[in-house]
Amino acid sequence: MYAHVLRPLLFLLPPAAAHGFVMWALGAVEHAAPIRALLRHMVVPPADDRLVTHVMGLTFPSPIGLAAGFDKNALRPRALAALGFGHIELGTVTAQPQGANPKPNLFRCPADHVLINRLGFPNDGAARVAERVRRARRAVGVPVGISIGKSRPVPVSDLDAVIADYLTSFDAARGAADFVVVNVSSPNTSGLRSMQSRDHARALLGALAERADRRTPLLVKIAPDLDDSELESLLEVVEQSKFDGVVATNTTTQRPENLITPKPRVTAIGAGGLSGPPLRARAISVVRRARARLGRDAVIVGVGGVERPQDATAFLRAGANLVQMYTGFVYEGPLAALRMVRGLASTLEREQVRSVSELVSTE
């Protein structure tokens, strides 16, 4: 029904307007516990011990989560969890409240199930968002992460200021979230990806790890566009900084040649991060390299082009402990998490595997 009726109607609206409508529609679910309970009864399958994942000292009812970016301001975490996700990552938030980059800043390429965005971390500020998370967290019922990024006015040339900015966001987020993701890889904040270089990453991640004092699980979100040597260098810093692991990957600035969307349309859209199925192969490759470098104890979250259960399985086999979706949620609709969870359960049944963790490559 979603693919044939609801999605075409939603896609009559500009992407930002459609997102706003969906967030408005989820309002009743977010604020009414009986409606959430009814929705959970309708769309969340019975608990399946085989899908339970234990990482970072947390228990995830399934490895399927919602990626950062969908709910930047923590306005609908309870409603989104009621749709069956095993965890919710909120944000990205910044120390300073800020608006979006100039419009238009969000685009669809439906033929490829792709989104392109250049939003640039619009959010109400880390302190305010963290307070919302703190109030809602108990009723969410699944682990909640907060992604933190750099405030736009802070120049990347002033490393001390950048570190102080991230620490301000981290101090707000760590008291509210179950885990924190350090976003240094968005292509939509000028110069941000330079924070993935060895020296900058060592300074930033080291300062955050020291502030965390090992009480708050910390992950770093990395770009798919790093070359192999850059990726290995960053993973070395992650390892040295004693971070818990990585989220792989963010959106890509690349425009694959095999897109169905006509090239003039893609060119006209311009800059921004591309997400969806064309990103999947590279994201899986980065997950595999991260697992090989960081070892069996690291936590790896795979994200990029996840639409179907077989996509999630591919990430798990490459070494991801958890898998996230965002663009796939937009294109597959409100039952996306349910289909993913059922598909994973069917895979375990078919392969006679006792636990989803047995699918995860640790080599």
CATH code where residue 20 lies: 3.20.20.70
- Give the residue-averaged pLDDT of 6-23: 96
CB-based contact 72:90 (threshold 8 Å): yes
Closest Cα partner for 180 from 58, 98, 283?
A: 58
Categorize the per-residue pLDDT at 47 as very low, low, confident or very high, splitting at 50, 70 and 90.
Answer: confident
Helix/strand number for the chain, H first, E second: 14, 13
Backbone phi, then psi, for 211, in 5-degree steps?
Answer: -70, -35
Closest Cα partner for 175 from 211, 139, 221?
A: 211
Categorize the per-residue pLDDT at 85 as very low, low, confident or very high, splitting at 50, 70 and 90.
Answer: very high
CB-based contact 87:52 (threshold 8 Å): no
Categorize the per-residue pLDDT at 1 as very low, low, confident or very high, splitting at 50, 70 and 90.
Answer: confident
Closest Cα partner for 344 from 6, 110, 48, 21?
A: 48
- Would you state the pLDDT for residue 4? 86
| H/E run at residue 292 | helix 280-294
Amino acid at 267: T
SS3 of 135, please?
helix
Residue with tokens 């969340």: 44
| Residues with active-site annotation | 186
pLDDT digits (tens, 9 = 90+) for 333-359: 999 999 999 999 999 999 999 999 999
- Of the two residues 83 and 362, the one the predictor is more confident about is 83
| 262 class by beta-carbon count within 10 Å (0-12 exposed, 13-18 middle, 19+ buried) | exposed
d(CA 299, CA 319): 9
- Give the residue-averaged pLDDT of 240-247: 96
- Would you state the pLDDT for residue 91? 97
Q: Is residue 269 one of the residues assigned to a domain?
A: no
- Would you state the pLDDT for residue 100? 97
Backbone phi, then psi, for 108, in 5-degree steps?
Answer: -110, 150
- Of the two residues 3 and 346, the one the predictor is more confident about is 346
End-to-end CA distance of the chain: 41
- Give the residue-averaged pLDDT of 67-86: 97
As for how many domains the chain has, the answer is 1
Structural domain range at position 293: 2-102+120-259+278-359
d(CA 92, CA 89): 9
Average pLDDT, the chain: 96
* Cα angle value 215/69/91 (rounded, 5°): 35
Q: Is residue 28 one of the residues assigned to a domain?
A: yes
Q: Is residue 237 one of the residues assigned to a domain?
A: yes
- Would you state the pLDDT for residue 17? 97
Q: What are the tokens at 182? A: 């350090």
d(CA 139, CA 158): 40
Alpha helices in 44-86 (DSSP H): 77-82
Concatenated DSSP letters of 325-336: ESHHHHHH-TTH
Q: What are the tokens at 31? A: 């604020």
Q: Is residue 266 one of the residues assigned to a domain?
A: no
d(CA 148, CA 202): 17
Closest Cα partner for 288 from 312, 317, 323, 309?
A: 317
Q: Is residue 341 one of the residues assigned to a domain?
A: yes
Q: Is residue 12 one of the residues assigned to a domain?
A: yes
d(CA 347, CA 132): 37
- Give the residue-averaged pLDDT of 17-42: 95
Least confident range from 24-33, 44-53, 225-234: namely: 44-53
CB-based contact 211:182 (threshold 8 Å): no
In whole angstroms, how far apart are CA 155 and each of 162, 309, 349?
7, 41, 52
User: What pTM does this model have?
Assistant: 0.97
- Would you state the pLDDT for residue 136? 96
Sort strands 114-117 and 273-275 into parallel, antiparallel or unpaired.
Answer: antiparallel
pLDDT digits (tens, 9 = 90+) for 124-173: 999 999 999 999 999 999 999 999 999 999 999 999 999 999 999 999 99
The yes-or-no verdict on residue 219 having pLDDT over 90 is: yes
Q: Is residue 115 one of the residues assigned to a domain?
A: no
Percentage of the residues of the chain whose pLDDT score is greater than 90: 94
In whole angstroms, how far apart are CA 354 and each of 47, 56, 346?
14, 21, 12
Closest Cα partner for 245 from 172, 297, 198, 189?
A: 297
- Give the residue-averaged pLDDT of 49-70: 97
Q: Is residue 255 one of the residues assigned to a domain?
A: yes
Residue with tokens 């969908």: 70
For the chain, what's the residue count? 363
